[in-house]
Amino acid sequence: MTLVEARGVGRTVELPDGRPLTILSGVDLTVAEGDRVSIVGRSGSGKSTLLNLLGLLDAPTEGALAFLGHDVRRIGSGARDRLRGREVGFVFQQFNLLPGRTALENVQTPLLYSGGMEFWRRERIARDMLERVGLGERLTTKPERLSGGEQQRVAIARALVRKPRLILADEPTGALDLETGAEVMALIEAVAAETGAALVTITHDPAIAARSSRHFLLRGGRLEAADAAAEASADEGAVGIDPAEAAA
Ligand SMILES: Nc1ncnc2c1ncn2[C@@H]1O[C@H](COP(=O)(O)OP(=O)(O)OP(=O)(O)O)[C@@H](O)[C@H]1O
């Protein structure tokens, strides 16, 4: 099932002096359930801007973006927020956990905005999720007393506790050492596989990008399909386009 379909999507913002700045343009991308997509690109190429569009945090200023068949530019911000809360899980480089709140409280937070059984059973659900990510013994520990890898596990549990169909990971291993980063990626992938969720990962790390099955490069606000080898050398500017991917 198609989750997100972008056709000719762009985003232009107005600078303080009134001039327009086009950050993204002509982006075509389809993400279906179970997909593993990586996006690499230099700093400032528009990666976070694209992730914010895919994750319904912003709306495009040009082109068509459909999320589960809903035209993102036509639905209201309330409906967009509900869709995002229900269907999108974000994992960021800097974990973004609530300080002073236990791991269990952090993971319960998204469930406070859900209804019915999810709301009433939120403590049990959050507890199960923390056990799933290997932190069953740290339920009442606060983030400041957890290691970076453990904090990211809490963040993963929080992002995935509502079983979103789309997981957006923005440099998820950027603050972790290589080994911990690989473990964290494997965990995200495993939990995504259990629910059939799609995973879109933004990364500077070719090894992390290579774990995906579809590879893209953002350059100057334009998205190009790229094979894994091209990604590895993207920083040197030696980019090859895989025609099969480009046509997909
Ligand atoms: N609201 C905004 N107003 C003005 N400029 C913006 C705005 N949002 C993004 N930009 C600019 O657009 C460009 C792309 O930003 P974006 O954050 O998407 O890049 P990125 O590829 O995620 O970069 P990084 O890897 O450094 O996080 C940057 O030059 C940024 O300064």
The listed range with the strongest mean pLDDT (101-105, 179-183, 226-230) is 101-105
Q: How many whole angstroms separate alpha carbon 6 and alpha carbon 37?
A: 14
Domain range list for the chain: 35-56+78-247
Q: How many whole angstroms separate alpha carbon 137 and alpha carbon 220?
A: 45
Of 2-6, 110-114, 148-152, the poorest mean pLDDT is in 110-114
Counts for the chain of helices (H) and strands (E), in that order = 10, 10
Residue 46 CA to ligand 1 centre (angstroms):
6
Residue 198 has pLDDT above 90, yes or no: yes
Percent of the chain with pLDDT over 70: 91
In this prediction, residue 244 has a pLDDT band, given cuts at 50, 70 and 90, of very low
Decide: 104 in ligand 1 pocket, CB within 6 A: no
Tokens for 190? 């495993």
Condensed to tens digits (0 to 9), the pLDDT of residues 223-237 reads 999 864 454 555 544
- What is the pairing mode between strands 166-170 and 198-202? parallel
152 within 8 A of 95, measured Cβ to Cβ = yes
Residue 219 has pLDDT above 90, yes or no: yes
Assign domain 35-56+78-247 one CATH number from 3.40.640.10, 3.40.50.300, 3.40.50.2300, 3.40.50.1820.
3.40.50.300
Residue 24 CA to ligand 1 centre (angstroms):
10
Residue 205 has pLDDT above 50, yes or no: yes
In this prediction, residue 176 has a pLDDT band, given cuts at 50, 70 and 90, of confident
Residue 40: Cβ within 10 Å count? 25
- What is the pairing mode between strands 222-225 and 198-202? unpaired
* ipTM of the prediction: 0.96
Decide: 52 in ligand 1 pocket, CB within 6 A: no
36 within 8 A of 203, measured Cβ to Cβ = no
Residue 217 CA to ligand 1 centre (angstroms):
16
Average pLDDT along the chain: 89
Residues forming a β-bridge with 66: 5, 71
Decide: 94 in ligand 1 pocket, CB within 6 A: no
Decide: 220 in ligand 1 pocket, CB within 6 A: no
